[in-house]
Amino acid sequence: MLFKKQGFPEENELVLCTVTSVQYHSVFVALDEYGKNGLIHISEVSPGRIRNIRDFVKENKKIVCKVLKVSQEKGHIDLSLRRVNETEKRKKIDSIKREQNAEKILETVAKKLGLNSVEFYRQVIEKAFKKYETLSGTFDDIVNGNASLEQLGIQKKYADALEELVRQRIKIPEVTIVANLKLTTYAPNGVEVIKEALARAESLCNNCLKIRYLGSGTYRLTVTAPDYKGAEKMLARSSDAASEIIIKADGTSELIREE
């Protein structure tokens, strides 16, 4: 990666590391994003008793670790491998891959324009990082129509060429969550009440919610969003809005999550 973070990582931060040395009771690593070194004590390599530490780590292996403790005065960074679960590992690796992909796009444009790729990269992030934390985050907003490189201060001919390739290469990731919403009402106009409730739920989601009738007053809600946090928030807003209307009509509402 071209980009190196400044300073030291925060405690509990996930970091991508390269194993540099494996000793009997510890593992030495290089923090790829920070250009610094860290240490993993054998007790933080894997839960349970470890007979041979090399069964878990080897030199030059890429691993995702969690920062346990940082001593800036001594320059020490203590890390854990065993405290990183599979979901955290996948999420971190995916974010690294997306940033590397963003850098490759920038390098391709630099070559096309006859520019030095490292110098071009520095010029772009100098402007973009005033508003964004990552290059991939900047590019995601461009694809979503929420960002303009020219407005960030990048020269128009460079901005236009970069944005064109970004829109060709970047696909915004999506996650989908599903839940069943059971609605019951014995009001004389119960059908109209349920229609109103479902229409209200859909209106809050801006085409990210699909509703399908399953029978027996149960409706399947499928929410699609860029990330799980956004999807969960939208599911809660939509189901709560529908429930409010049903409850006002002396009905009941139950949201049932699918595993």
- The SS3 call for residue 102 is helix
What residue spans of the chain are helical by DSSP H?
86-113, 117-128, 135-143, 156-169, 190-203, 228-248
Q: List pLDDT tens digits, range 87-97.
A: 899 889 989 99
Contacts of 96 (CB under 8 A, 6+ apart): 1, 16, 32
Residue 184 lies in a domain: yes
Q: Residue 233 maps to which CATH number?
A: 3.30.70.1130
Boundary-marking domain end, from 25, 57, 84: 84
228 — pLDDT class (breaks 50, 70, 90): confident
* Domain count within the chain: 3
Q: List pLDDT tens digits, range 33-51.
A: 999 999 999 999 999 889 9
> Which pTM does this prediction carry?
0.66
Q: Residue 49 maps to which CATH number?
A: 2.40.50.140
Boundary-marking domain end, from 120, 147, 169: 169
Q: Answer yes or no: do 252 and 181 share one domain.
A: yes
Average pLDDT, the chain: 92
| Residue-number span of the structural domain to which 39 is assigned | 14-84
Q: Answer yes or no: do 93 and 113 share one domain.
A: yes
